[in-house]
Amino acid sequence: MPRLARLDISGLLQHVIVRGIERRDIFNDDNDRQLFIDRFSKLLSETGIQCYAWALLSNHFHLLLMPKSTPLSYFMRRLLTGYALSFNRRNKRSGHLFQNRYKSIVCEEEPYLLELVRYIHLNPLRAGMVANLDELDNYKWTGHAVLMGKITIETQNTTAILERFGATTGQARLNYRQFISDGISAGNRDDLVGGGLKRSQGERPANEYESYDERILGCGDFVDSMKLDSDLRDKMKSAITLEKLLNIVSNVMNLDSDSVRRPSKSRFPATARGIICQMAIFELGYTGKEVGSLLHLKASGVSLASRRGEKALKADPELLKSILLEISK
């Protein structure tokens, strides 16, 4: 089944989860982690995206973000591409570092903001990377240590969290820490990683289920509001227009964009069209009809081209890397 396009919507919480390919480690040591945090913090400053929680583990990481004017997809492309290149150079490796696409879940702010902060910041404890809450307080690879005042990362929005726990910083930290402590016994919270409403409802008559969507964490009304938003379709798309994607793929493959747009059986233009179809539909959220209009293809032609593009990208990871680098600029 084709993957659903991400809901890249400004002004809403997004829980982002990124895993290493084949569950391999993406951080080999603290130097790797610091390189990631430096890049992450710089991008937060450049884009104005708000960060409320984060945690780095060995083979994956969690972020709780709220995009403002910059699309999350643009931010994540720059973050992941830049870090992967640095990691590969530093560790003398090549190839993909991350598993498929990152996962992002649109979250209803109330009642989920604080629950997600707690869930994300307890991950190192659940994973056995720290032994207890005292160690977690000083574990420098989560936003929990920032909220506790143990480390400083200027781009993490601590005010929005601590102000919910007390009028003074000291009292807020005490209450926040107790809130974190209270969550330790809850164990894994599968209901907080997408489709949560469906999972939490258990076995109930079908007519009692509220709306749900695996890309959304919230009540049925919230899910419906996302789906019924008249601007949702446009918001789901990244800042990359189809024309820009056409030009990027054409330039990377040393082709004239007009030859790519014009249907033909020539190998390289046909491959380029396939790559555009694949990335436009499954990465940027455009419809097959929109892509077909750009490339003068019927629906069946777009489908065939997309499969051809997927094979081409899998067969040539360096080509995909080159395209992503141009997109991330």
Average pLDDT over residues 79-98: 92
106 part of a folded domain: yes
Picking from 191, 210, 229, the residue at the C-terminal end of a domain is: 191
35 part of a folded domain: yes
Within 8 A by CB and 6+ apart from 216, the residues are: 7, 105, 106, 107, 108, 194, 195, 222, 223, 226
What pLDDT does residue 76 have? 93
Is residue 197 over pLDDT 70?
no
Is residue 240 over pLDDT 90?
no
Confidence grade of residue 222 (pLDDT, cut at 50, 70, 90): confident
How large is the C-alpha radius of gyration of the chain?
21
Indicate whether 177 and 274 sit together in one domain. no
Q: Which domain holds residue 89?
A: 13-191
160 part of a folded domain: yes
Picking from 175, 191, 207, the residue at the C-terminal end of a domain is: 191
The encoded tokens of residue 60 equal 């994956």
Is residue 68 over pLDDT 60?
yes
Q: Please say whether the beta carbons of 52 and 176 come within 8 A.
A: no
User: Helix, strand or coil for residue 53?
Assistant: strand
Range with top average pLDDT, 79-83, 97-101, 189-193: 79-83
Q: Tens of pLDDT along 14-47?
A: 999 999 998 899 999 999 999 999 999 999 999 9
Q: Please say whether the beta carbons of 11 and 66 come within 8 A.
A: yes
Indicate whether 186 and 246 sit together in one domain. no
Angle at 173 between CA 168 and CA 175, to 5 degrees: 95
Between 80 and 237, the higher pLDDT residue: 80
Indicate whether 176 and 258 sit together in one domain. no
Sheet order of strands, 216-217 included: 50-56, 60-66, 13-19, 103-107, 216-217
Q: Please say whether the beta carbons of 267 and 233 come within 8 A.
A: no
- How far is the C-alpha of 25 from the C-alpha of 29, rounded, in Å? 10
Indicate whether 61 and 145 sit together in one domain. yes
Q: What is the mean pLDDT of the chain?
A: 85
Average pLDDT over residues 95-122: 89
The encoded tokens of residue 107 equal 């979250």
Angle at 117 between CA 221 and CA 44, to 5 degrees: 100
Structural domain count of the chain = 2
User: Helix, strand or coil for residue 275?
Assistant: helix
What pLDDT does residue 198 have? 43
Picking from 166, 191, 216, the residue at the C-terminal end of a domain is: 191
205 part of a folded domain: no
Indicate whether 264 and 185 sit together in one domain. no
Q: On the CB side of 174, how many CA atoms lie within 13 Å of its CA? A: 5
Q: On the CB side of 294, how many CA atoms lie within 13 Å of its CA? A: 21
For residue 311, the domain's CATH number is 1.10.1750.10
For residue 56, the domain's CATH number is 3.30.70.1290
263 part of a folded domain: yes
- DSSP at 178: H
What pLDDT does residue 28 have? 94
52 part of a folded domain: yes
Q: Tens of pLDDT along 144-160?
A: 999 999 999 999 999 99
215 part of a folded domain: no
What pLDDT does residue 152 have? 93
Is residue 217 over pLDDT 90?
no
142 part of a folded domain: yes
Would the pTM count as exceeding 0.75? no
Indicate whether 154 and 35 sit together in one domain. yes
The encoded tokens of residue 226 equal 């996302």
User: Helix, strand or coil for residue 157?
Assistant: coil
- What percent of the chain is predicted at pLDDT more than 70? 84
Indicate whether 163 and 297 sit together in one domain. no
DSSP string, 74-134: HHHHHHHHHHHHHHHHHTT--S--B-SSPEEEEE-HHHHHHHHHHHHHTHHHHTTSSSSHH
Nearest C-alpha neighbor of 6 from the set 87, 74, 108, 94: 74
Confidence grade of residue 229 (pLDDT, cut at 50, 70, 90): low
